[in-house]
Amino acid sequence: MSGSGAHLASLMLAGFRTLVDATMEELTRRGHPDFRPVHEYALLAIEAGAASASDLGRSLSVSKQAAAKTIATLERRGYLSVELDPEDGRRKRLDVTDRGREVMRMGAAIFDELRAEWAKTIGVERLDSLEADLERLLGASPLRFDTPGWMT
């Protein structure tokens, strides 16, 4: 069975979208109705060292203004704390809060639950093989923080 490259890309994107949408729906049921995929990417980038709106914008491939808006939203919703940098009062320090870490852990657990459902559908060995093949093609760490900016 051979398909086109476009069909393969569509299937891979649909798989990503299906898992993300199901995770967002479950996060809503578990008390995080205001959390969005871009928020996850932002929190991951901040944990990886994005220390300002400019840094976050570069990490996500969005404008500084869009990054600042995301930071304000995450702070307002309790996922992020923003404080003046004690060493440089012109800069703000970004820290993921306990609530932010909680939603990230919850999201990861939901992805694991969804993976287990997929394994029930096609079998653990086939899913493990698919994952191994994708890692071989994409590398072991395919996540890029700039996915939100790339998708727009």
| pTM score, whole prediction | 0.85
Q: Has residue 132 got a pLDDT over 70?
A: yes
Q: What pairs with residue 95 in β-bridges?
A: 81
Q: Please give the pLDDT value at position 144.
A: 66
Q: Has residue 130 got a pLDDT over 70?
A: yes
Mean pLDDT, all residues of the chain: 91
66-75: average pLDDT = 96
Q: Please give the pLDDT value at position 140.
A: 76
Listed in sequence order, the DSSP H helices in the chain are 5-29, 37-47, 53-60, 64-76, 98-122, 124-138, 147-151
44-49: average pLDDT = 94
- Looking at per-residue pLDDT, the higher value among 141 and 112 belongs to 112
The domains of the chain, with CATH numbers, are: 5-151 (1.10.10.10)
